[in-house]
Every structure is written in C-alpha cells, then in structure tokens.
A and B are shown apart, each in its own frame.
Chain A
Amino acid sequence: EADIYQTPRYLVIGTGKKITLECSQTMGHDKMYWYQQDPGMELHLIHYSYGVNSTEKGDLSSESTVSRIRTEHFPLTLESARPSHTSQYLCASSFRAGANVLTFGAGSRLTVL
C-alpha cells in the first residue's frame, strides 16, 4: 500500500497547455522532492522542499515550479508544456533527520505532443 501518491500516472497533452502533477504523502515526512527521469537514464533532482513554505531548485534546471503550502502536498506545475518536457516525474519524501531514506511515488509519465 503506497504512502506517497502521484496523479496522474499517465498524461498526454498538447504543447502550450498548463499542467499540474500532484504528489501527496501520509508519512509526516518533512522533506519532499521531485526527480525527472528519462527512460533508462539517471534520476535528476529538479525541486525539493525542507518543509512548509520551503522550496529549492535542484541540480537540473527545470521550467517547472513547485509549492509547499501543506506538509503532505508538493505539486509541480508547468505553465506551458513543450515536447522537451516529455519525461517521467518521480516524487519522493523523507524525514529531515536521520539517514534520509527516500520513499518514492509511482511516478507521472508525461508526454507532450
């Protein structure tokens, strides 16, 4: 049973549309993350958050934005989708203290036509 939920799992959308990928966790984790992963390639961190009202950019530049208004919720938004945004987006969370073990969501696979 998943403790971190991502919706939608799959999305096919046209260029120029605005999209929001949802991520929610029920584990009380402080830290949340968004990773981008192309098929067969490594994960790249695009956004992270230490807690409510905290958002930071990761090591891979992304045109997406995130917000953290509630501890359990960390949505990612693309204002104007382009074909270059086609990828899998993985949300993850962890406790701030301790070993920093990440729990991942099932992912959102985005295709922009």
Chain B
Amino acid sequence: GQNIDQPTEMTATEGAIVQINCTYQTSGFNGLFWYQQHAGEAPTFLSYNVLDGLEEKGRFSSFLSRSKGYSYLLLKELQMKDSASYLCAVNYNNAGNMLTFGGGTRLMVKP
C-alpha cells in the first residue's frame, strides 16, 4: 500500500506554534498536499510541495524531505479558528496521479 501516517489528534494553545508531521511511502511520489477541513465542511487547499524544502504562506509553512518520505505543516500564531482537521495527501504517479489521503490530524486550539 501507500501508507500515509499522521497523528490522529493534537492540542495546542492560542498564539503558540504547532507542527503536524506526515510520513509516506516514497515509491512513485509526485507531490504532497496539505488540506484543512473544518468539521462538516469540505477540505480546502493549504499548500503543495514537490521539491525538498520549506514553502511559506503567511502563518502556515510546509516542509518536504523526499528522501525521508517526510513532511510537516507548521502553524504559527495559532488562532481558535485553526481548530480543524489537517489532511496530508500524496500524489502517486503509479496510481494514475490520484491523491491518496492520510487519516487527518484533528487539531484543537485552546484559549
């Protein structure tokens, strides 16, 4: 299979920084995505990494290491509205370029 592993739940405090990790099988890798999904809503696109390194977009950053099959999503200056599930998804070119999603990490931001 193409297991994508991420922690099930995390809790952090408003104003703090949190890092959500994702590991995946490297065979056929063709890009990694992070999506945010609020309860009962559709996922929305946050970031895309295909080369090694850090991509920064405002309070959110995403990092990729292709050799290690590892990515993380970094959220800074946490706000209550950041409470959501964060989905790691990998594009595999040996799966017809379909996205495979991890189970998601449910982040709870506390005051």
- List which A8-59 residues lie within 8 A (CB) of chain B: 33, 35, 40-45, 48, 56, 58-59
Closest to B99 in A: A102
Contact A102 B45 (CB under 8 A): yes
Contact pattern, B 73-105, Cβ under 8 Å of A = 1, otherwise 0: 000000000000001000100011111111110
Contact B41 A101 (CB under 8 A): no
Chain A residues near B33: list those with CB within 8 A.
101-102
Contact B91 A100 (CB under 8 A): yes
Which of B44, B45, B48, B98 is close to A48, meaning CB atoms less than 8 Å apart? B98
Binding site for B on A (CB under 8 A): 33, 35, 40-45, 48, 56, 58-59, 90, 99-107
Known A42-B87, A59-B98, A100-B97; further 16 A-B contacts with Cβ < 8 A: A33-B98, A40-B106, A42-B101, A42-B103, A42-B104, A43-B43, A43-B87, A45-B98, A56-B96, A90-B42, A100-B91, A101-B48, A102-B43, A104-B42, A105-B42, A106-B41
